[in-house]
Amino acid sequence: MTEKTDIIDSKTFVEVTIVGKDKEGIVADTTNYIFKNGGNIEKINQNVVKGLFGMHLEASFHTIDKAKMQKELGELGKKLQMEVKVHFHEENKVKNVAILVSREDHCLLKILNSKTAGEINCNISLIIGSDEKLKPIADNYSIPFFFVNHTDQNIAEKEILNLVEKFDIDLIVLARYMRILTPNFVWRYPNRIINIHPSLLPAFPGAYAYVQAYERGAKIIGCTAHFVTEDLDQGPIIIQESFKVAPEDTLETIKIKGQIAEAFALLEAVKLFLEDKLEVYWGKVTYK
């Protein structure tokens, strides 16, 4: 009997991310491997911040052996002394989603209710919280909840990365996570982390956007769902929602309106991603 191997016969896109201490030869060795195995490089991007190198490469193959590629790229990573991750993007695959939260529940509930109603097609594999407040919601929906202590952000990120890898996550959703992810984290999941920001970017950055808008007398306020990059609140914009400020509005009513807009915008961005309708070119999101 011939041993069955995990070989793909249709065109498949492979994402390769490499993170580690900057050194020579990383790009050349990786691209040479892709070409020697019959791949075509579709996109490549690299960054260096304070000696930390990050590269994201997307390549297409007509026929590949996933297990063999995982093994060989892992060996290449050991040779380069870099962390190498391989992600296979297959059309029509039901994607695995991780949701990161803090204490606010409006965005989380919007996504969970939409999943229950059949409005989005995905596996919500786990919820990760920097606080335990929202654990009862996860329990109510029978979704694994993991509390990660964020006293040390670097240690917290390592724990989150381990969970994301263990559950084979395709998309990370920051549902009012209220934490700033480092380049060390973001570079591992380029264009696969979606955040909701309470402002029409790039105005009013940071956590107190509604307070700033209210204090400055803004007449139109909104929120932005965007891909996360190493630059705070500067990632490619996916969806924006806005609302007018009425003369009788208070800070509290603005916050309520804002939360409704946030939940809607984040859900729409997640839905577009799950349906493979988003492309990022030169820092700008386009719709397929």
Active site residues: 233
Helix (H, G, I), strand (E, B) or coil at 189: coil
Identify the DSSP state of 282: T
The reply to whether omega before 202 is within 30° of 0 (cis) is yes
Give me the DSSP letters along 228-246. Answer: --SSTT-SPEEEEEEEEPP
Angle at 271 between CA 171 and CA 102, to 5 degrees: 55
**How many whole angstroms separate alpha carbon 28 and alpha carbon 10?**
27
Q: Which residue has the tokens 């990120």?
A: 157
Rg, the chain, Cα only = 20
